[in-house]
């Protein structure tokens, strides 16, 4: 939790990434999902997000993005400074 935001930290494709922690579709906890490369799958309905930019890769209802019912997730800039992870949140 950073301020009032729930943020998920991930190590994907050799980089630390930060995204919102809750799926915008039905509120699934993305930390309980599956990460494969840069693709994060929501555990509730299987929506797949690209953690590099937050875009929807696959809609759980078979609708091709950007027409689907699932919105992108927020991503946040990350820096590693002196072995500390810094996340810029608005």
Is residue 12 one of the residues assigned to a domain?
yes
Distance of alpha carbon 33 from the chain centroid: 10
Decide: helix, strand or coil at residue 78: strand
* Counted domains in the chain: 1
Q: Residue 67: which domain range?
A: 7-87
pLDDT digits (tens, 9 = 90+) for 21-38: 999 888 889 999 999 999
CATH number at residue 14: 2.102.10.10
Report if residue 30 sits inside a domain. yes
The alpha carbon of 86 is separated from its chain's Cα centroid by a whole number of angstroms, namely 17
* Single pTM value for the model: 0.87
* Cβ neighbourhood burial of 73 (10 Å; 0-12, 13-18, 19+): buried
pLDDT digits (tens, 9 = 90+) for 43-87: 988 899 999 999 998 887 777 676 777 889 999 999 999 989 999
Q: Is residue 1 part of a domain?
A: no
In a domain, 2, yes or no: no
């Amino acid at each position: 939790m950073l301020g009032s935001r729930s943020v998920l930290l991930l190590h994907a494709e050799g980089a630390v990434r930060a995204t919102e922690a809750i799926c915008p579709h039905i509120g699934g906890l993305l930390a309980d999902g599956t990460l494969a490369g840069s693709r994060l799958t929501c555990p509730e309905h299987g929506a797949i997000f690209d953690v590099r930019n937050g875009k929807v890769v696959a809609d759980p209802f078979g609708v091709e993005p950007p027409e689907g019912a699932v919105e992108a997730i927020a991503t946040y800039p990350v820096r590693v400074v002196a072995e500390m992870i810094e996340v810029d949140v608005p």
